[in-house]
Amino acid sequence: MSDSDADLVDELFDGPSPAGTPAPPSRFRRMLGRVFLLTGGALALFVVLYAADLMSSAGDVPRGVAVAGVDVGGLSRAAAEARLHEELEPRLTEPVTVRAGDVEAELDPAESGLGVDWPGTLELAGSQPLDPLVRIRSFFTTREVDVRTTTDDRALRAAVTELARDRIDRAVIEGDIRFEATEGGDGLVDAFAVEPRQGQRLADVDGAVAAIEDGWPERHRVEVPVEVTPPEVTSAEVHATLDDTVRPLVSGPLRVRGDDAEAVLRPGQISGALDFTAVDGGLEVEIDRFRLQQAVRGPLTSTEEPARDARIVFAGSAPAVRPAEQGRRIDWERTFAPLLDVGTRAENRELDVVYEMREPEVTTAEVEGLGIKEVIGEFTTSGMSGAVARNVATIARAVNGAIVTPGETFSLDERTGPRTASQGYVVAPVNEDGTGRRVIGGGVSQFTSTLYNAVYLAGLADAGHTEHPYHLGRYPVARDAISLRPDGSRVDLAFTNDAPTGIAIQTSATGSTVRVKIWGTERYRVESVTDGPDDMERPPIEWERGEDCRPVDGVPGFRATNTRILSDPDSGEEVGRQTREVRYAPRPTVRCRSVLIGG
C-alpha cells in the first residue's frame, strides 16, 4: 500500500488531520482495544463462574439427567436416590401383566425376583462433565437414563413356570351345546352354545423369562409366545347347529306311534340322547338311540310279539306238534333314523315305529321231522312228600316238553336255571327222604334219579352224572343220580342224544310219585344187569342230643356193578354194553339221647 492509500484509510476512520498538527491515535485502534478489554473481562468472568459451578456441583448428579421421567439432575446422589424411591418405587411394585395368547396374567415383581439397583442406576448418569459446552447445554436439554434392574433367575423361572401351569397352559375346548331344564319343568329344556376356545402351552420358559427381564420395568405388559392348538369347530358353526337343528329339535314333545300304542319323547329326553362331535370343521349331531329306546320302550313293548318255536306238547296220550309262530320286534335304528328331519319340523312331529319280522329258531317242519312218535324210555319213582314233593313238581314242570335234537347234549342245570324262591322252589331237606340240612330246592334229586333211569332205559348216551353218597332203596342199585350234594351244592346231570332222530321229555309229578317218559324212535332193547352188593360195610351208630334229633336207620355201605346191554329190537342181536361200578358209603344209624333235666 502506498503512503497516499494509508492516509486515505486514516481519513476514513479519523477524518482529515489539520495541517501542521501531529496525528492523534486512530479511532479504530481505540475501538479494538475496548473490544479486547471487554472480551478479556468476559472470559475472566466465565472462568470464575465455571470454576464456581464446577466446585458447587462436585459429587452431584449431572444436570439434565432423568430416570424413567423423574428429573434428578443437579441433586446429590442421596437426594436423587430418595426422589427415585419416592416417585418410581410405587410404579415398580405394580404387578407385571404377562400376555400369553389370549390370556392375561399378573406377576408380582417382588415375589418373582425382580428388583431395582438404585445406586447402580445413578451410576449410569455418570459424573460431572468438564466440558464447558456440555455443562452449558445441560441447562437446556434432558438426558434419559435407564433403570438398572436385578433379577433372581431361580425365583423368576419358578414364578413363570407356576403361571404357565395355573393360568396360561390349557387344553383346547371344542365347541359344544349344553342343556338346562327350564324353570317351569314339564321336561322342557333350554339349549346354549359352548364356545370353542383354543388350547395353548408356554413352550419356551427361557424365552418368557428373558422377555420379562428385558421389558420390565419400562413396560408393565410383556407378551410371551405360546404354542396354540386351534379348535376344530368355529363359533359360527356351533351357533348354526344350535339354531338350525338343536333348538327346533327340543322345542317340544315328539310322538312315537306303534300299532295300537304310542309313546311321547319329551324335550329333556331328546336332549339327553344328543351328543356332538367335531367333523370337518362342523358340529355333527349324534343320537344315542339306546337312550331314546329306553324312554319309550315301556308303552311300545306290548306291540312286539316274540317268535315261538315249534314244540312238542302233551295234551293227550301222545305228543303233538305245536306249530312255530313268526314274531316281530321294533327295529329301533330304523325307527329313529328320521329323528333329525321330523324333530326339526314345527308341525307333524311324529315318528312311525318300524317293525322287523323274527323267524323262530325251530320250525314246524323241523319238529315234525324229528321222529318223535313213541315212548322209548320210561321210569317212575315215589316216596316223596311235603316240601320235597313240591320242589320235585317244580323241576318236573321246567323240564316237561324239552326237545333234544340229534347230537345235542341236554344239561339239567341249563334247562332249569337257578333254583330260587322266585322260580317256585321252597326250603326242604337236601335229601329226598326228608333228611339232611334244609336248603332252597331240597329233595330235587328224586327227579334227577327218575330222569336218569328214563334216559338209561331209552338207550341214550350218559354225558355225566353223580350217584348218591349212600344207597336209597327207592332206586335200582347203581342207577341213581343227584342234583344236590349233602352240603347243598349243585351237581349237574347231562346226557347226549346220540340217536339219528330227536327226542322229547314228558314229565308229571303228583302226590308222592314222579314219572318221566322219553319219546322218540326206538333203537334198542335195553337190559340192565347188576352184580353185587359186595364188600359190605356195616353202618356206624351216632348218638345225638337235642329236640331236633331225628332217628334214622342206617344203611350198609357196599360196592356194586351195573351193566347196560343194548340189543337190536328186531333181531335181538347185542349192539353194545356199558358197565359202571359204584361204591356206596355206609349211612350212619342215628340214635337220640334223652336230655336229663337237672343234670
Res. 125: pLDDT tops 80: no
Cβ proximity of 227 and 203 under 8 Å: yes
Per-residue pLDDT reduced to its tens digit, 246-266: 999 999 999 999 998 999 999
Q: What would the mean pLDDT of 47-71 be, rounded to a whole number?
A: 62
Tell me how far apart the alpha carbons of residues 179 and 209 are, in angstroms, rounded to a whole number: 43
Report domain extents, the chain: 3-14+26-55, 237-366, 369-529+571-576
Q: For the chain, give the percent of residues with pLDDT over 70.
A: 87
pTM recorded for the entire structure: 0.52
Q: What would the mean pLDDT of 299-306 be, rounded to a whole number?
A: 92
Per-residue pLDDT reduced to its tens digit, 392-432: 999 999 999 899 999 999 999 999 999 999 999 999 999 99
Q: How confident is residue 520, by pLDDT bands cut at 50, 70 and 90?
A: very high
Residue 13 has a pLDDT of: 46
Residue 8 has a pLDDT of: 47
Q: How many CB atoms lie within 10 A of CB 3?
A: 7
Cell of 290: 339306546
Tell me how far apart the alpha carbons of residues 522 and 458 are, in angstroms, rounded to a whole number: 8
237-366, what's its fold? Ubiquitin-like (UB roll) (3.10.20)
Tell me how far apart the alpha carbons of residues 1 and 20 are, in angstroms, rounded to a whole number: 24
Q: What rounded mean pLDDT belongs to the chain?
A: 86
Judged by DSSP in three states, 301 sits in helix
Q: According to the per-residue pLDDT averaged within each range, which of 89-93, 119-123, 311-315, 498-502 is highest?
A: 498-502
- The residue ranking higher by pLDDT, 538 or 596, is 538
Radius of gyration of the chain (CA): 57
Q: How many CB atoms lie within 10 A of CB 114?
A: 23
Cell of 310: 315249534
Tell me how far apart the alpha carbons of residues 161 and 168 are, in angstroms, rounded to a whole number: 10
Compute the half-sphere exposure of residue 390: CA atoms within 13 Å on the CB side of its CA.
14
Helical segments of 93-169, H only? 118-123, 132-137, 153-163
Residue 214 has a pLDDT of: 86
